[in-house]
Structure 1
Amino acid sequence: MSETNAGIENLTEALREAGIRVTRQRAALLGVLAAADDHPDAPELHRRAESEVPGISLSTVYRTLSTLESQGVIQRHQFEGAPARFEPVEPGHHDHMIDVETGNVLEFCSDRIEKLQAEIAAELGYEIVHHRMELYVRKITGSA
């Protein structure tokens, strides 16, 4: 089973568990959400789903996203100065870099950063329970 199909199944099951009927429009939204690799906002998800199955309303998109978020299968990210963006919850941890000029969101993992954060918390007498890191970046002129 492909990663996208597994993602669709997970999202579909979450809606069913919440008592929400999976209509053609919602199924299209789930497919778009599972296939997205760019942290789209609700209007962009609506646009993509609408191109596959005309007739989905923006309010259906918002209600479905809210349900999926409450079921813990998607994350809402409120990056500084931008509308909320969404991504399916995946195993493992990653952080985000947001390009302040283009709005592109890049995911990254760094064992060094994770270790340093844990060391700092421990030095202050704490252990990290959960964290989220967002770096707001600008491309250096002349770099790839």
Structure 2
Amino acid sequence: MKRVIADVEEKLRAGEYKLTSRREHILRVLLENKDKHLSAEEVYNLVKKRAPDVGLATVYRTLELFLLFDIIHSIDFGDGRKRYEFCSSGTDGHHHHHLICTRCGKIIEVNEDLLEDLETRVSKEHDFKIENHQLKIFGTCRECTEKINK
């Protein structure tokens, strides 16, 4: 975690920003919850436990700053709330994909590039440089399906 924090600090410094203690608290919450897709309010509630003086506005501003520097990215899973997750290094600009249960809200990550062939074909056909894509598949998870079938 220390290496990632140092990398983020360096990235911010290159853009003439500082990794303040409040920003570091927010970063640590995101890193400690890498496997989750936290909303700004959820980040705020987790940060509040360790740094009670951090306000919700600070969390929002910091998340926007982290987005600007590609430290995190945001996703809307169809519920009208932005969710944030830490950007993994070595992904060549591609993010993993998500399966979203419309019953319980569970989010399952799919860590393979399901759109690579389509992306290549579309790029060539339309002379379009694709920088990124997201795939969200909505349906019913195994647990909810089992409950329905009982």
Q: TM-score, normalised by structure 2?
A: 0.76
Hey, what does 1:52 align to over in structure 2? 50
CA contact (8 A) 2:106 2:141 kept: no
Shift of 1:15: 3.4
CA contact (8 A) 1:96 1:135 kept: yes
Q: Does 1:31 align with 2:32?
A: no
Output the CA distance in 1 between the equivalents of 2:97 and 2:23: 28
Q: Which runs of 5+ in 2 are unaligned?
A: none
Hey, what does 2:99 align to over in structure 1? 97
Equivalent of 2:76 in 71, 74, 78: 78
Output the CA distance in 2 between the equivalents of 1:89 and 1:110: 15
Hey, what does 1:142 align to over in structure 2? 146
Hey, what does 1:88 align to over in structure 2? 86
Deviates more, 1:70-79 or 1:53-62: 70-79
CA contact (8 A) 1:14 1:68 kept: no
SS of residue in 2 equivalent to 1:132: coil
Q: How many residues align?
A: 138
CA contact (8 A) 1:75 1:87 kept: yes
Which protein has greater RCO, CA pairs closer than 8 Å, 6+ apart? 1
Hey, what does 1:114 align to over in structure 2? 115
Equivalent of 2:39 in 21, 35, 41: 41
Identity of aligned residues (%): 25
The CA deviation string for residues 67-123 of structure 1, in whole angstroms up to 9 with x for no partner, is 110111110112212310001111323111122222232211235x3355247537x
| Paired letter, 1:125 | E
Q: TM-score, normalised by structure 1?
A: 0.79
Equivalent of 2:65 in 64, 67, 70: 67
Output the CA distance in 1 between the equivalents of 2:109 and 2:115: 14
After superposition, the CA RMSD in angstroms is 2.5
Shift of 1:16: 3.2
